[in-house]
């Protein structure tokens, strides 16, 4: 498809979808005005979509493709009002593959509503009826200002299932952005509201799976409304594949994720919706799709699964994309408003690898808000220079003054110290320094015996000159006993950690005792099942997240749950200490063995501590007969997809069962089972928690 024709072709395609198939030819003949190439593009899109909608799935593959577009007018339906007691039919709004939507008036309140009816009525297949009922059930559970609400359902006298929902007079997301000529910032604010609605659905366990601009209406007040959950599924619910045995696809191709295009239902999760949001954002800003989506079905699916998206700043065109910035960042006519930060957000959202995308719609909207506030975005956290640049820009007036003063001082310092730097460059590293480097490298690569060998070589050094170090100014230091003791202490700590990581707790404990390292002595005693000794040792170990974390574990092991809750809370409040932990690969392994790491290195600090310790805190509250508090704590934890989320879901299941909320308990337990089977490795502690949760679910209202 010619990129010049793409915006117009997309617009005509969306309009043609609202018509009955027999009406489309006449519409295109008039709308295309003799432009055969444009008409061919639109007919190509319609042909692919007809393949999408024409598939009849078996019961275990049941899904739905109808689209609710309640702003498109059509002729009167002719359906008798008696079919919907309490409602007066006004007109038919739209029709899809298996459903039709009417505008109506609720006679008791004069409220405008939309009524969605299953077309096939009493003769509908069981799978179609289940799909319809599932949509009603899922949407009825969602109460959010930016999600269409369902407030009534039933069956017509001739057996047609129907549901009554809010009527929204509005336009699709893309049309609203174009019609209102939104600035980049205003478009991002609107998109952020959509992301928050999707994130809310995810937190309620609902994955939409068919997000697209026509399923997001913007009302007269500028508020977006997400609708059409016909393809939705619950997190942990039964999976339906989007590709049939014949290779046909259900869904809307341009917005499908790579895992949908590959037909792998096991990989479809909330990140599938995140990808669709990325396509929506890309199209909203540029008026284009990120890669070709017209042609043979196999080619389109291959592009979705494999073709990297064109950077939005390169595919943007002024006639189809967002063209303006806020007053503070005005552009010259024809300049692309999409800067490097926005482009980074879009491309991260569109990553083919799920692990490289934003892990939730909440993370995505957080970066959008950071950008709008002029703060560094998380998508570029791995670039230290980027963060520095952002901070310098925000404080640029002070920086100019300090830079000038710094330049003068720097010249003076360089002149004074230049001779000493020559001396520094000429002096070789000491024997101890060389052995330290080798020891650290071996630890990082997991060669623990080799690392211990280098550490023992350091301990064997006797000559004070072997510990000589060179300062930044060329000064020699380190030949005294203090420097030698410091280096040997470092070597001993390395030996202790190497034994620990090899699983030899007794040898590790022995070396830590020699070092008098109380926090780690307490941790190892705890792992050996000696909770009383561990608690006594940790009492003299001072403060810090690591110490309080292990105190909480020991207290929980001893059944002192109230004290454990207090200790875990202190661990969360003191987690700033983790930021000072040495950043190295073997340090990451150590923290991982303690259960602290929630994300990949180097994110080894605050949020990881809060999530990991939060799960333990929730469990301690549950065991201490505080189920309401346990639910509140666990709900904060399940925002992120890591191993501790499974633990918190089990706590939620047991806490709800204790309060008599049997259905909610079962839902959380089922979600935990799915998460365990798809993303986690089973360990003994988690297996025991599963058994405990299963026992609790069998006895409603029983104490944990």
3-state SS assignment for residue 671: helix
Q: Which of 210, 269, 273, 647 is catalytic?
A: 210
Contact (Cβ atoms closer than 8 angstroms) between residue 306 and residue 352:
yes
Cis amide linkage into residue 541, ω under 30° from 0? no
Which position has the token pair 């609202």?
A: 18
Contact (Cβ atoms closer than 8 angstroms) between residue 579 and residue 605:
yes
Structure tokens belonging to residue 415: 């002149």
Catalytic, 210? Answer yes
Q: Could you give the CA distance from residue 139 to residue 117 in angstroms, rounded to a whole number?
A: 15
Phi, psi (5° rounding) for residue 172? -65, 160
3-state secondary structure 463-527: CHHHHCEECCCCCEECCCHHHHHHHHHHHHHHHHHHHHHHCCHHHHHHHHHHHCCHHHHHHHHHH
Phi, psi (5° rounding) for residue 283? -65, -40
Structure tokens belonging to residue 288: 């284009």
Query: What is the 8-class DSSP label of residue 307?
Result: P
Q: Could you give the CA distance from residue 664 to residue 654 in angstroms, rounded to a whole number?
A: 10
Contact (Cβ atoms closer than 8 angstroms) between residue 138 and residue 95:
no
In sequence order, which residues have a C-beta less than 8 Å from that of residue 137 and are 6 or more positions away?
none
β pairing state of 150-155 and 111-118 = unpaired
Nearest in space to 29 (alpha carbons), one of 19, 20, 38: 38
Beta-bridge mates of residue 112? 105
Enzyme catalytic residues = 210
């Amino acid at each position: 498809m010619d990129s010049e024709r793409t915006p117009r072709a997309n617009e005509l395609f969306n309009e043609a979808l609202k018509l009955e198939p027999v009406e489309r030819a006449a519409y295109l003949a008039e709308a295309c005005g003799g432009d055969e190439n444009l008409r061919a593009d639109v007919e190509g899109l319609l042909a692919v979509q007809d393949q999408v909608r024409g598939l009849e799935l078996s019961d275990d593959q049941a899904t739905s493709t109808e689209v609710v577009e309640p702003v498109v007018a059509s002729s009167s339906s002719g359906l008798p009002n008696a079919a919907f007691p309490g409602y007066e039919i006004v007109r038919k709004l739209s029709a899809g593959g298996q459903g039709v939507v009417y505008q109506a008036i609720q006679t008791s309140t004069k409220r405008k509503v939309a009524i969605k009816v299953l077309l096939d009525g009493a003769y509908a297949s069981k799978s179609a009826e289940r799909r319809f009922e599932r949509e009603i059930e899922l949407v009825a559970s969602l109460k959010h200002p930016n999600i269409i609400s369902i407030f009534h359902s039933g069956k017509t006298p001739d057996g047609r299932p129907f549901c009554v929902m809010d009527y929204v007079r509005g336009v699709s997301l893309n049309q609203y952005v174009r019609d209102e000529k939104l600035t980049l910032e205003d478009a991002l604010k609107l998109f952020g509201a959509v992301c928050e609605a999707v994130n809310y659905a995810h937190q309620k366990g609902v994955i939409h799976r068919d997000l697209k601009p026509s399923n997001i209406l913007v009302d007269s007040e500028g508020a977006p409304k997400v609708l059409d959950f016909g393809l939705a599924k619950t997190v942990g619910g039964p999976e339906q594949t989007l590709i049939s045995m014949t290779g046909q696809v259900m869904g809307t191709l341009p917005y499908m994720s790579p895992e949908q295009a590959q037909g792998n239902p096991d990989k479809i999760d909330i990140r599938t919706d995140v990808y669709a949001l990325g396509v929506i954002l890309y199209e909203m800003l540029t008026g284009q799709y990120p890669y070709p989506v017209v042609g043979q079905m196999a080619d389109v699916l291959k592009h979705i699964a494999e073709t990297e998206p064109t950077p939005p700043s390169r595919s943007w065109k002024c006639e189809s994309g967002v063209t303006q910035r806020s007053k503070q960042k005005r552009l010259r006519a024809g300049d692309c408003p999409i800067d490097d930060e926005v482009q980074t957000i879009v491309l991260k959202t569109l990553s083919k690898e799920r692990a490289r995308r934003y892990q939730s719609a909440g993370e995505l909207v957080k970066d959008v808000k950071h950008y709008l506030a002029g703060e560094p975005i998380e998508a570029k956290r791995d670039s230290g220079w980027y963060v520095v640049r952002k901070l310098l820009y925000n404080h640029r007036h002070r920086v100019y003054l300090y830079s000038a003063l710094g330049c003068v001082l720097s010249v003076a310092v360089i002149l004074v110290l230049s001779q000493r730097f020559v001396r520094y460059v000429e002096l070789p590293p000491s024997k101890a320094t060389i052995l330290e480097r080798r020891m650290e490298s071996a630890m990082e690569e997991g060669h623990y015996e080799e690392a211990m060998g280098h550490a023992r070589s350091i301990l064997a050094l006797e000559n004070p000159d072997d510990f000589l170090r060179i300062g930044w100014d060329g000064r020699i230091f380190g030949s005294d006993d203090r420097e030698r003791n410091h280096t040997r202490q470092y070597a001993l700590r390395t030996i202790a950690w190497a034994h620990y990581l090899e699983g030899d707790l007794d040898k590790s404990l022995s070396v830590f005792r020699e070092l008098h390292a109380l926090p780690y002595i307490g941790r190892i005693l705890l792992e050996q099942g000696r909770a009383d000794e561990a608690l006594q040792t940790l009492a003299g170990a001072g403060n810090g997240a690591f110490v309080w974390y292990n105190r909480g574990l020991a207290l929980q092991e001893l059944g002192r749950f109230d004290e454990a809750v207090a200790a875990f809370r202190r661990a969360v409040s003191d987690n700033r200490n983790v930021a000072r932990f040495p950043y190295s690969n073997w340090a990451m392994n150590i923290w991982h063995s303690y259960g602290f790491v929630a994300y990949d290195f180097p994110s080894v600090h605050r949020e990881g501590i809060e999530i990991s310790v939060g799960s333990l805190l929730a469990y301690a509250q549950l065991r201490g007969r505080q189920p309401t508090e346990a639910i509140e704590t666990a709900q904060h934890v399940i925002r992120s997809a890591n191993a501790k989320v499974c633990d918190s879901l089990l706590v939620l299941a047991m806490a709800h069962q204790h309060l008599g909320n049997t259905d909610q308990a079962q839902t959380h337990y089922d979600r935990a089972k799915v998460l365990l089977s798809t993303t986690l490795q089973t360990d003994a502690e988690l297996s025991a928690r599963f058994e405990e949760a299963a026992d609790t679910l069998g006895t409603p209202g029983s104490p944990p």
